[in-house]
Amino acid sequence: MRRPNVKWLIKTAVLVLFSVLFFLLITSWISSTPYTNRPVHHGIEPEDSARAAALRSGDRRVKYEDAVRMKAQAQIDEPQHGKQDEILDEQDMEDSAKEAADDEQNQVEPEQFDAKLQKGDESNSELQMAAPIDDLQKRDWHDYTAMERDAQRVGIGEQGKIAKLDDESVRENEQKVSIENGFNGLLSDSISVNRSLPDIRHIDCRKKLYLRKLPTVSVVIIFFDEYLSVLMRSVHSLINRSPPELLKEIILVDDFSDRAYLNKELEDYIVNHFAVGLVRVVRLPQRTGLIGARSAGARNATADVLIFLDSHVEANYNWLPPLLEPIAINKRAAVCPFIDVIDHSNFNYRAQDEGARGGFDWQFFYKRLPLLPEDLKHPTEPFKSPVMAGGLFAISAEFFWELGGYDEGLDIWGGEQYELSFKIWMCGGEMYDAPCSRVGHIYRGPRKSIPSPRKGDYLHKNYKRVAEVWMDEYKNYLYANGEGIYERVDAGDLTAQKAIRTKLKCKSFKWFMENVAFDLMKSYPPFDPPDYASGAIQNLGDQTKCVDTLGRSRHNRLGIYHCADDLVRPQRSQYWSLSWKRDLRLRRKKDCMDVQIWGENAPVWLWDCHGQQGNQYWYYDYQTKLIMHGKEGKRCMELLPSTEELVVNKCDVSNSYMRWSFGFVNKTALDNFNIDLELKLE
Ligand SMILES: [Mn+2]
């Protein structure tokens, strides 16, 4: 038998070892390189990672000089302002010159970058085929280079700080532009379209990993007469803070704007600043409204996931992966980002609150429901939300169209967030809010009213369409709160919408209310349940005296006055209700009896009803005639006869000044005071 060729074996082994090692090195290097999207010429990143990023993703960086030029152009119509602007621009130019000198090979025209991008993608996918990566593997999606570069930025509005124009001479124009737009447009022109933002995410979001493989995104932004620098800041922030391999396109749908600069000037800007095909404008031939325009944008989209955004937003760091991961896991999940507040007057960027679930009342006002205990335990995890706020969300294109998109019988705006939310939940999907995904939104301030593009009550028509198709017997609550409006509007043809519900075998609205919005009825009952007691509150120690506001407004102490003749229906200053919220309020008002100290002779104030019980919790024991304050039931309302003051002290049944009668008492309701009201459908 032939002896094995040891020399050959060793040689081969060494060769194999080396090639494996080399392969591992290459793949780990590639996967550990953070993608960079290189928004502005700020700071200098290591050459290697820059080249790798360019190879992997193409460079979609914005040439700041162009941004400056655009700004200058935009200012042709508007007067010049602030020195700070110039300082920032100079500094930016300087930085960009430095960087340009540093790595010349990145200075390629967009077309070439596109070619590079495709090549990069190919080599990347080849690598992935050679070493298949587990779909469930996670990675850190942060763009640390961009974040560090942003951290260095200084200037007006940078880091999302309060900005203001110092030039007194533009004040009048500032006001004019503000009232035209509902935000300080002139100030916006002075703030970089690539400005940095504060990273106000929960601290644990910074460490979170997301699936390595995430779907691609088409962002759909609809606009009507949007202010150019605000619109462009929205687009820049999206490109600057999205992994280029995920952001396939941004579709700007122009809903037949009047403003001239939204035509050629906008298109030139896009050509000069963004990679070919990355940002597209879809023009509608007539005013269509939010729903129609979004649908048109969605029809134009080509990526896996649709993200609908407003045209006056700024995306915060790493906003995209937390929105996409739930959809990667379940393609029937829709996900909303946390919406931060960009101040309309000074562009300050701040958090709205710590998050809440979405709901509605029975006039279809959007309302917020408290987070659940398990949501609070995991502050960085997406939590289920019954209803979306409406403006900003992600949904897979496939699921969106499976649901039939928006009901395009809904006109202009209004009700579409309910329609889509109900559909998503009832037809096999789910909806989340992702706390680690944050997008700032300019909530407009006072604005010149824009004439409605439609005559007639399209809003209630929309609501009626949603109610008729999706809400089953619960629609009657909406109608009962509509004061006859719904009887007068015609919902139009609903055949197609009802067919979708049948085809997809969607669940009932009762199921939605009991399983998803299970706490909505408690917080927003369709009707205010009857009062436990009402009328004048008469003292039994001195029966001529009743609790009275003494004509004072909120935030004042309550007092005692001569009782009205009619104790059941006294004058307003003595007409109290022990309401279903278990507070003592002026009838049909939001002024409540409020005790703020826990010591002796605690005064009773008239304060804004907070509805959270606590220091506004009252109970009436119709047997002992005590009015107890607080859930412990140890302190009671008392009239101090010597000073005629109304106070709270330790309960004492033998003290007749602590005993009271109400004009009207609902004994059955009081007997069940501790049982939460269950509303039954008739
Ligand atoms: Mn908006």
On whether residue 607 sits in a domain, the answer given is yes
Question: pTM (2 decimals)?
Answer: 0.69
How far, in Å, from the CA of 316 to the mean position of ligand 1? 16
pLDDT score of 5: 73
pLDDT score of 114: 37
Distance of CA 506 to the CA centre of its chain: 27
Please give the share of the chain, as a percent, with pLDDT higher than 90: 72
- Domain co-membership, 435 together with 563: no
- Domain co-membership, 539 together with 430: no
- Domain co-membership, 359 together with 219: yes
- Domain co-membership, 430 together with 548: no
How far, in Å, from the CA of 415 to the mean position of ligand 1? 15
pLDDT score of 611: 86
pLDDT score of 8: 75
pLDDT in tens, 444-469: 999 988 777 888 889 999 999 999 99
How far, in Å, from the CA of 195 to the mean position of ligand 1? 20
- Domain co-membership, 430 together with 323: yes
φ, ψ (nearest 5 deg) of residue 300: -85, -10
Stretch 201-218: mean pLDDT: 97
- Domain co-membership, 387 together with 273: yes
Provide the domain limits for residue 653.
533-671
pLDDT band at 7 (very low <50, low <70, confident <90, very high): confident
Closest by CA to 68, choosing from 46, 86, 49, 42, is: 86
pLDDT band at 27 (very low <50, low <70, confident <90, very high): low
Please report, to the nearest 10 degrees, the dihedral formed by the alpha carbons of residues 331, 332, 338, 342 taken in order: 90
Evaluate the CA torsion angle 469, 473, 475, 476 in order and state its sign.
positive
- Whole-number Cα distances in Å, 206 to 322, 380, 469: 11, 10, 42
- Domain co-membership, 350 together with 245: yes
pLDDT in tens, 252-304: 999 999 999 999 999 999 999 999 999 999 999 999 999 999 999 999 999 99
How far, in Å, from the CA of 16 to the mean position of ligand 1? 59
How far, in Å, from the CA of 313 to the mean position of ligand 1? 8
How far, in Å, from the CA of 171 to the mean position of ligand 1? 25
What is the domain-level CATH number for residue 666? Answer: 2.80.10.50
pLDDT at 212 over 70: yes
On whether residue 254 sits in a domain, the answer given is yes
How far, in Å, from the CA of 410 to the mean position of ligand 1? 19
- Domain co-membership, 432 together with 568: no
Question: Token digits for 313?
Answer: 């937003």
How far, in Å, from the CA of 516 to the mean position of ligand 1? 26
How far, in Å, from the CA of 309 to the mean position of ligand 1? 8
pLDDT at 406 over 60: yes
Mean predicted lDDT score pLDDT of the chain: 84
How far, in Å, from the CA of 311 to the mean position of ligand 1? 7
pLDDT band at 677 (very low <50, low <70, confident <90, very high): low
* Entry field: residues in the chain: 682
Q: What is the DSSP code string of 219-272?
A: EEEEESS--HHHHHHHHHHHHHTS-TTTEEEEEEEE-S---GGGTHHHHHHHHH
Lowest mean pLDDT among 86-90, 341-345, 436-440: 86-90
How far, in Å, from the CA of 223 to the mean position of ligand 1? 10
Q: What is the largest CA-CA distance in the chain?
A: 124
How far, in Å, from the CA of 165 to the mean position of ligand 1? 24
pLDDT band at 11 (very low <50, low <70, confident <90, very high): confident
- Domain co-membership, 313 together with 195: yes
On whether residue 649 sits in a domain, the answer given is yes
Number of domains in the chain: 2
How far, in Å, from the CA of 221 to the mean position of ligand 1? 11
How far, in Å, from the CA of 59 to the mean position of ligand 1? 30
Alpha helices in 33-82 (DSSP H): 47-57, 64-74
- Close Cβ partners of 138 (under 8 Å, ≥ 6 residues apart): 209, 210, 211, 212
How far, in Å, from the CA of 626 to the mean position of ligand 1? 51
What is the domain-level CATH number for residue 168? Answer: 3.90.550.10
pLDDT score of 4: 57
How far, in Å, from the CA of 31 to the mean position of ligand 1? 37
pLDDT at 317 over 90: yes
- Whole-number Cα distances in Å, 34 to 150, 176, 202, 417: 16, 44, 22, 36
pLDDT score of 134: 62
How far, in Å, from the CA of 392 to the mean position of ligand 1? 9
pLDDT band at 135 (very low <50, low <70, confident <90, very high): low
Among the candidates 439, 462, 477, a domain finishes at: 439
pLDDT in tens, 605-659: 999 999 889 999 999 999 999 999 999 999 999 999 999 999 999 999 999 999 9
pLDDT score of 589: 85
How far, in Å, from the CA of 414 to the mean position of ligand 1? 13
Q: Is the separation of the CB atoms in 422 and 466 below 8 Å?
A: yes
pLDDT score of 329: 97
How far, in Å, from the CA of 583 to the mean position of ligand 1? 36
Stretch 522-532: mean pLDDT: 87
333-342 and 533-539: which strand pairing?
unpaired
How far, in Å, from the CA of 196 to the mean position of ligand 1? 21
pLDDT at 420 over 70: yes
- Domain co-membership, 404 together with 538: no
On whether residue 516 sits in a domain, the answer given is no
How far, in Å, from the CA of 166 to the mean position of ligand 1? 28
pLDDT at 413 over 50: yes
How far, in Å, from the CA of 391 to the mean position of ligand 1? 7
pLDDT score of 22: 64
Among the candidates 439, 460, 477, a domain finishes at: 439
